[in-house]
Amino acid sequence: MRTKYVTTKLSNGQKIYQVDHPFCTATISEFGGQLLSFQDQQGDEWLWLSKSAIKDGSKAIRGGVPICWPWFGPNVDKTLPQHGYARLVNWALVSVEEDEFGVQLTLQPDFVNSKYEIHNLSLFMKIDLGTSLSIQLHTENISNFSVSFSQAIHTYLAVDDINECSISGLNGCVYLDQLKNKISHQENDLVLNQWTDSIYSNVQSPITLANRGKTSKSIDGNGHDSVVIWNPWQDGARLLSDFDDLGYQNMICIEMANTGTTTLAPRQSHTLTQVISKITS
């Protein structure tokens, strides 16, 4: 496949797709089909990647944009991996479309040559890179019976200082505090000051991440039933061997997700989209 803006390289024994376009640069790991870095035309990094991340293919990569599929969180069968199989297999680069405005990559997970078997669902992903960042997950039921699944675009966004950030667009929404197993209502802008793991429902408008003194970002989406907000704070970070102890200060996860049950009839499909854009004044 010959392209103008996409090349491949090896890092830690793993294939990396490198995008160098006038509007942006990006790196995507073949393992997990995972976007690891996205820098805009000004060289600002939009994504956070743990300095302690394991990138040799032995476990999911901590940071960037992992794909949670075909389930979000733990499976009923506790022997199966957290957040599903998609982030644990290699993804083939199926096609590249590119022009002066950006690059679109289509990738598909290779379950056939992995230890994980998926017989009833198919998945492919489109990543659009330019002045904004868009990811689409397209799931189709390829079986002869109804199939249920859940998913998330588990985006680790980079911030200069979590203490100087606020999130608007969630005011009035109902959320489940997963740490306390408690349902609450969001009042006013969300400011994080502790370990946070919350699932917001009935989110109607784009979410704005304001990073004091820096350019704000809009996070929008389609095909989702919820938005997940996560930051492990220092206590949670210390429990994760691949998460820098102080890394929580420079990241926040804002994820378009289907954390409830999505059921597809035979040959029915579903697309989950997340779009991140700069807000210019």
Residues of the domain holding 257: 6-278
CATH number at residue 99: 2.70.98.10
Global pTM?
A: 0.96
Kindly state whether residue 1 falls inside one of the protein's structural domains.
Answer: no
Kindly state whether residue 75 falls inside one of the protein's structural domains.
Answer: yes
CA 68, 69, 72, 78 torsion-angle sign: negative
Kindly state whether residue 43 falls inside one of the protein's structural domains.
Answer: yes
List the Cα angle 19/255/18 in 5-degree steps. Answer: 10
Candidates 223, 229, 28, 41; CA nearest to 132 is: 41
Domain count, the chain: 1
pLDDT in tens, the chain (281 residues): 679 999 999 988 899 999 999 999 999 999 999 999 999 999 999 999 999 999 999 999 999 999 999 999 988 777 889 999 999 999 999 999 999 999 999 999 998 888 888 889 999 999 999 999 999 999 999 999 999 999 999 999 999 999 999 999 999 999 999 999 999 999 999 999 999 999 999 898 799 999 876 789 999 999 999 999 999 999 999 999 999 999 999 999 999 999 999 999 999 999 999 999 999 76
